[in-house]
Amino acid sequence: MNVKWDIELKNWQNLNPILEVHKLDIKINFIWDEIKAREVLTSKGHQLKTWGGAEKTSEPHWIGVTKQTPLHIDPRYPRYTWHLILKVDNFSIRGIDKIETILNDNIFILLDTHSPHQLFALDKKATYYFAASIDSNNILPFYYVKNKLIEFVEANEINNNTNRIKK
């Protein structure tokens, strides 16, 4: 749900949606393949899609975005989402405070999706944001999601099970 920059926050929402950032400290078996990604992310403009065979986003799955997003909240999904970012162009994530968290490959972020957030392109060439993700109503501990997401990445091709996850 798109929101305006002058949104009045509820007392449980955050000015900035990024709650944690961790660098991946091991090498994992993942190679970015734009051809396979384009089998899933078919729009030439903005697109956001979750897929990967899970019944719901509270199980490990893929998330891909092309181009930047508007400022928005995601009230239909669980509040918290961990992302293991595998391929990201020149993007940041920011909240209504406009403090940017610069994104890089091989980092984990914990995002509060019920607080306003924007995937912001830092240049016109920024196209891809691609991650493995797991959503939850409560904050899951990093050590738990780290292992779950690495296992998912190493066991799944990015173009398998391309049906959108809607729950």
pLDDT given at position 53: 85
pLDDT in tens, 21-37: 999 999 999 999 999 99
- 62 lies in some domain: yes
- 6 lies in some domain: no
d(CA 142, CA 162): 27
- 1 lies in some domain: no
SS3 89: coil
- 8 lies in some domain: no
- 127 lies in some domain: yes
Percent of the chain with pLDDT strictly greater than 90: 90
Q: Which domain holds residue 53?
A: 18-155
| pTM of the predicted model as reported, rounded to 2 decimal places | 0.96
- Mean per-residue pLDDT over the chain, rounded: 95
